[in-house]
Structure formats: C-alpha cells, structure tokens
Amino acid sequence: MAYKYKNVLNLQGSDFTIRTVLYSIQSIEYGPGSIDFNTITPMPPWASVNGEALRESWCREYWGVPENAGGLSESAGSYDGGDTIEFDTIGGDVRELMRKLSMMFPPEPLGSDGGLIVDYLWASEDVGKDSGMAQFVGGEQTYEYIPAPGSAAAYEAAFDIFGTDAAAHGLVFDAVLGTYRYDGNLFAKTEGDHEQVQE
C-alpha cells in the first residue's frame, strides 16, 4: 500500500529570492502556495502521452514518486504569503527534487540578495514509519536527519510535521518500549465523549 506523505518546504534567503522561487515553482492552476514538480524537472511530452505505466515509471525515476504533488487546493488556500508551503506526495519523499530546487540560486550569487537555503521535511501518514528532514544549499545536501522507523523520535517528528499529538493518532508513549504504541481505548473514549455531548 502506498501511503500519502505530508511535505513541508521552507526557504531561507532574501524576500526577493524567496518570492522569486515560490513564484517559479507554483502550479499555474492553483497559484501561490502550491508547487508543480514540472517546474523543477519537466516531464517530456512522450512520457505524458504514452500510457499510465510509462508516465508513472518516469515520475518515479525523476521525481521519486509516482505522480505530481497533491493537496494543492488546500496548500494554496492556507498559504499566508510567507516562506513555507506544504504539499502531499504518494509513496515517498522528494529529496532529489528539493536538491535540484536549491540549485536554482547559487549559494553566494553576485549582488546583495544572498543565496537560497532549502529546508525540507516529510512524514508518512503511516505515522512513525518514515519521517525526516534535510537541508540543501546550491545543490549540496548540508544536513539530514532521518530517525529510525518506529522510534520515539520518528513518531515525534511526524507529530510536528502533521501538527498533531500522539492521542490524535490513538498512540500513547510506552516507557518500557521507549517509544509509542497504539491504544484503541483513546478512540473509544473520544467517541463516547462525543456521544454524551450529542445527548
């Protein structure tokens, strides 16, 4: 089963640099706050017209995932004009695309605007199984942190990215295991409280 991933892209640089990059990668359909992978690595026409299998194969090879970014209506709708956007992917992260994005502006360009630093975070909706963060400057990865799947750090990274907590996923921290485990009673209690309110 291919899980959905939440992705967070944060840019560091001058206001001009950030605005320029976000404008250059936005989806024509959804506008500011969105992203179209074609703006970073364009899909050739032959890959888009020769069947779903070939298109998906090309996407996996060059984008790292089987299709373009999703959740764009929500990301564009919630965009506040700042330096951070969010988007969804299917089945994995897009670190290679983010590395290529960081190459759009060199680390120390001429002039006074400064370069571009790309901070990228991702987390699978299968919480605790795949989450991490990476930083790219001028096409080079300068930082990466990928906690071990199932570790407390992996769960907590996902909570931060999704903006939730353990209880929202039916999880509790188990001091013996040193990580989080599922507790169905949390959902049962929540449903019971909801029924009482409706009464």
**Domain annotation covers residue 169:** no
What span, in angstroms and rounded, lies between the C-alpha atoms of 106 and 138? 5
Token representation of residue 50:
């020769």
Residue range 132-187, pLDDT digits in tens: 999 999 999 999 999 999 999 999 999 999 999 999 999 999 999 999 999 877 65
**Domain annotation covers residue 195:** no
Q: What is the pTM of this model?
A: 0.87
Confidence grade of residue 110 (pLDDT, cut at 50, 70, 90): very low
What are the DSSP calls for 20-49, one per residue? HHHHHHSBTTTBTT---GGGTSPPPHHHHH
Q: Which residue range is the domain that position 9 belongs to? A: 4-147
**Domain annotation covers residue 158:** no
Mean pLDDT of 1-19: 92
**Domain annotation covers residue 72:** yes
Mean pLDDT of 29-33: 96
Residue range 33-86, pLDDT digits in tens: 999 999 999 999 999 888 899 999 999 999 999 999 999 999 999 999 999 999
**Domain annotation covers residue 128:** yes
Residue 114: what pLDDT?
58
Number of domains in the chain: 1
**DSSP single-letter state for residue 168:** G
**Domain annotation covers residue 188:** no
